[in-house]
Amino acid sequence: MQRPLNQWRPYWTGKRNARQVFWRLNQAADDVRAGNVKLGDQLLLPAIIADSPEAVHNRASVVAALAARRRMPIIAPLDSYSAECEERMSQRLGHIRLSRASRCASSSMW
């Protein structure tokens, strides 16, 4: 089933927020399967509040993916590139080799 995230209606003013987008993306991902695994069970989306239902869902998804040794697709907003960001992330994740774009992911999301 297609979720209408790319559409706009005037009566939606003030009703589209991060929580709603999170749940609509997860609902759409539940309709997609890769083998015997639903994408919705593996997808990791940003949670705005640490103890929100979205964060609880993410934690459960991560635990399940680690137990099954599966990779998780991640959808998250990224900051623009800056040398300061790259240096900060290199220090934080120095032992992990990452691409330039992923090194400069917004640290405020974590």
Residue 2 domain flag: no
CB–CB of 41/61 below 8 Å?
yes
Same domain, 87 and 45: no
Say whether pLDDT at 107 is over 60.
no
Instruction: Examine the domain organization and report whether 17 and 60 are in the same domain.
Output: yes
Cα angle for residues 74, 87, 63 (degrees, 5° grid): 30
Q: Is the pLDDT of residue 20 over 70?
A: yes
User: Residue 59 domain-assigned?
Assistant: yes
Q: Average pLDDT of the chain?
A: 77
Q: Which is more confident, 95 or 27?
A: 27
Based on the structure, what is the number of domains in the chain?
Answer: 2
Same domain assignment for residues 21 and 42: yes
Tokens of 30: 């539940």
In a domain, 97, yes or no: yes
Residue 5 lies in a domain: no
What's the whole-number mean pLDDT along residues 59-77? 87
Q: Which residue range forms the structural domain that includes residue 14? A: 10-68
- pLDDT exceeds cutoff 70 at 3: no
Q: Which helix (H) or strand (E) holds 38?
A: strand 37-38
